[in-house]
């Protein structure tokens, strides 16, 4: 994977950020989701480099080879605000102050927070399989709770660590197909999720989501803050986001000034299952500055 990419670990005091990067041209930061690592982009990132972009693939706080602080009772240590701050600081250490930003799944919440808190850093924003956490919770019904039950299970204290930690392969393995993912991507994922500290950090990500992250989003709405960067939405047509919330563009038009988007014919992990379509959507969006 990632032939020609460099690997760095950026030390930021209480955290460290593992980053893969390569290429020259406009910088692009790709943020992964749960329970993946930056390796989820292994089919997209090289194509973007070939298309003339400088590409950065970090592991989120506590995921993969990145490290974070110990959890805090209010979960702020693993909030999207804290994780977004990691990305801005790490990119600064790498000499990049402004970039295109892409987030998938949990990474999309970090990308959203980064765009709201650090608008000067984001040129264009792409969010994949995402509406704001507070919007999901405002619409939560029995169907949502049944489909996305893991949000509420992961938020419980201590029990998820014991359940998942007892047999991480049994928990994560059935949904991690090495043929679809790529063997090296799969191996990196399974190595990561076998570490108790990584499991704890990923669960804290979800606990923050239902508490401090939701509160931060509600504060944004009360202050009428909106995303300034042009926003592209990509959602998986073979997943359930559109079924649960309708057209996600309608929701995001209340959060951002300029919104466009379309579905991708893939399951949830679009970058692994439909890398050519994802790459083309990103390349086109990043190259059409004068049209927005």
Q: Is the pLDDT of residue 291 over 60?
A: no
32 is catalytic: no
Q: Among candidates 162, 124, 168, 78, which has minimal Cα distance to 256? A: 124
State residue 288's pLDDT score. 72
138 domain residue, yes or no: yes
pTM for this entry: 0.97
Query: pLDDT tens digits, residue range 49-106?
Result: 999 999 999 999 999 999 999 999 999 999 999 999 999 999 999 999 999 999 999 9
87 domain residue, yes or no: yes
1 domain residue, yes or no: no
Domain hosting 43: range is: 6-291
Query: pLDDT tens digits, residue range 128-155?
Result: 999 999 999 999 999 999 999 999 999 9
Buried b (16+ CB within 10 A) or exposed e, 263-288: bbebebbbbbbbbebbbebbbebbee
**Average pLDDT of the chain to the nearest whole number:** 96
State residue 289's pLDDT score. 56
- To the nearest 10°, report the CA torsion of 278, 281, 283, 284: 170
Q: What is the CATH number of the domain that holds 270?
A: 3.40.50.1820
Query: pLDDT tens digits, residue range 4-23?
Result: 999 999 999 999 999 999 99
SS3 123: strand
Catalytic residue among 32, 75, 268, 269: 268
239 is catalytic: no
91 domain residue, yes or no: yes
Catalytic residue among 42, 75, 86, 105: 105
Number of domains in the chain: 1
Percent of the chain with pLDDT over 70: 99
């Amino acid at each position: 994977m990632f032939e020609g990419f460099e690997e760095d670990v950026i030390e930021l005091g209480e955290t460290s950020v593992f980053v893969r990067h390569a290429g020259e041209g406009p910088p692009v930061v790709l943020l992964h989701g749960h329970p993946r690592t930056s390796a989820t982009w292994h089919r997209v990132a090289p194509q973007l480099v070939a298309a003339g972009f400088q590409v950065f693939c970090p592991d989120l706080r506590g995921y993969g080879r990145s490290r974070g602080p110990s959890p805090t009772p209010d979960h702020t240590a693993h909030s999207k605000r804290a994780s977004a701050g990691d990305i801005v600081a790490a990119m600064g250490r790498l000499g990049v102050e402004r970039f295109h930003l892409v987030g998938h799944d949990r990474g999309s919440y970090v990308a959203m927070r980064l765009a709201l808190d650090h608008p000067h850093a984001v040129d264009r924003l792409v969010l994949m399989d995402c509406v704001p956490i507070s919007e999901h919770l405002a619409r939560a019904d029995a169907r949502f709770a049944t489909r996305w039950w893991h949000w509420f299970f992961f938020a419980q204290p201590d029990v998820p660590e014991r359940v998942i930690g007892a047999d991480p392969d049994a928990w994560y393995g059935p949904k991690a197909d090495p043929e679809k993912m790529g063997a090296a991507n799969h191996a990196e994922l399974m190595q990561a999720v076998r570490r108790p500290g990584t499991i704890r950090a990923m669960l804290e990500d979800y606990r923050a989501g239902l508490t401090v992250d939701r509160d931060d989003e509600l504060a944004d709405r009360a202050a009428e803050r909106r995303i300034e960067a042009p926003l592209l939405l990509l959602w998986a047509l073979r997943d359930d986001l559109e079924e649960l919330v309708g057209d996600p563009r309608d929701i995001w038009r209340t959060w951002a000034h300029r919104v466009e988007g379309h579905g991708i014919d893939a399951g949830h992990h679009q970058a692994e299952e439909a890398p050519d379509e994802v790459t083309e959507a990103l390349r086109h969006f990043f190259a059409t500055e004068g049209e927005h």
